[in-house]
Amino acid sequence: MAAQPFAGVLVPVLTPFTATGEPDAGRFIAFCRWLLDQGADGLAIFGTTSEANSMSAGERMALLDRLVAAGVPTAKLMPGTGACSITEAVTLINHAVGHGCGGVLMLPPFYYKGMTDGGVYDFIAGVIDRVGSPALRMYLYHIPPQTMIPFTLELVGRLIKAYPDTVVGLKDSSGDWSNTAALLKAYPGFGIFPGSEVFLLDGLRHGGVGCITASGNVNVPGIRKVYENWQTPQADALQAEITLARKTIQAYPMVPALKRIVAHFHADPDWATVRPPMERLSDAQSAPLLADLAKIGFTLGERHREAAE
């Protein structure tokens, strides 16, 4: 199995849009830099939290071009390259590999339902074969609540066996710890990231390599503390703290809530903009969200200032 290009706390970066709904490269670059300054170990741009599928392939590639041109280190980037067609996925991957991205995060062909493991295998294999690059490091993106197409335990094993130097890990956004545990047990050395920091400590204790988590957009320092101290007596208390923050946020629609939090703490109201079909958090939802966060002492603003000092 190939060496792991990523470990630690990875953030599926929120995508800022202008008030008229265009991707805002300037604010995107600034936010990516800020996340790395906060301690993020990698940036999983163009994930679900990034509203990646609300952008055309061209818009995604243009944003990546801008990020690279701005000097953000490409080894830290794991762009989402999922698409329902082999051809579009290949275009996105070739672009990412051409930029030297550390890896890519790969959805199954999510339009389809009721496909067999064999059909999904043929899709992923078709993508890897067409790309044909020894530089490609692919992370499978298991998120059945969105795709309804799972990367089953057996399918993952088949892909690792066929492409040991390419298929190097998996993001498990099933929300089902027993699935993550089964993967960790079955494939030691495979780079498994739970899709939520709620499972970070459990994952690390069973061989996981970190987490890729939406709430990383607003809580890298807290989540990194668990990653750095997981073998210390403080680990469970630190985990309880980030679990509480996560649960407070996810009581609201996740992406609009995260964007609202960024807008608030970065004092930049346009950050709350989402692309349809998502809807901006209403004022009636924003007020209790921010109050709930204040109640648990969540202070991104202060952390931001501390980091900047």
- At its nearest, how many Å lie between a copy of itself and the CB of residue 54? 5
Maximal CA-CA distance, the chain: 54
Peptide bond into 233 cis (omega under 30): no
Residues in region 64-103 near a copy of itself by CB under 8 A:
83-88, 91
Q: Quick one: 55 or 293, whose CB is closer to a copy of itself? A: 55
Question: Under the criterion CB under 8 A, does residue 109 sit at the interface with a copy of itself?
Answer: yes
The yes or no reply on residue 18 touching a copy of itself (CB under 8 A) is no
* Contact indicator for 208, 184 with CB cutoff of 8 Å: yes
Q: What is each CA distance from 158 to 23, 27, 117, in whole angstroms?
A: 38, 41, 10
On whether the CB atoms of residues 139 and 168 are closer than 8 A, the answer is yes
Distance CA 224, CA 210 (A): 9
Beta bridge partners of 23: 17
Q: Which of 18, 26, 56, 234 forms a contact with a copy of itself (CB under 8 A)?
A: 56
CB of 21 to a copy of itself, least distance (A): 7
> Which residue is associated with the tokens 């929300």?
175
Task: Say if residues 123 and 160 touch (Cβ distance below 8 Å).
Answer: no
**What is the per-residue DSSP string for 158-174?**
HHHHH-TTTEEEEEE-S
> Does residue 202 contact residue 177 with C-beta atoms inside 8 Å?
yes
Restricted to residues 124-163, the positions that interact with a copy of itself (CB under 8 A) are 125-126, 145-146, 148-149
Q: Which stretch binds a copy of itself (CB under 8 A): 65-73, 113-121, 259-267, 293-301?
A: 113-121
Note whether 176 binds a copy of itself by CB under 8 A.
no
Q: Would you say 97 or 128 has its CB closer to a copy of itself?
A: 128
20 binds a copy of itself (CB under 8 A): no
- 57 interacts with a copy of itself by CB under 8 A: yes
Stretch that binds a copy of itself, among 56-64, 94-102, 201-209, 300-308 (CB under 8 A): 56-64
| By the rule CB under 8 A, 282 interacts with a copy of itself | no
Q: Are 32 and 286 in contact (CB under 8 A)?
A: no
Which chain residues interact with a copy of itself by CB under 8 A? Answer: 21, 53-59, 83-88, 91, 108-113, 115-116, 118-120, 122-123, 125-126, 145-146, 148-149, 275-279
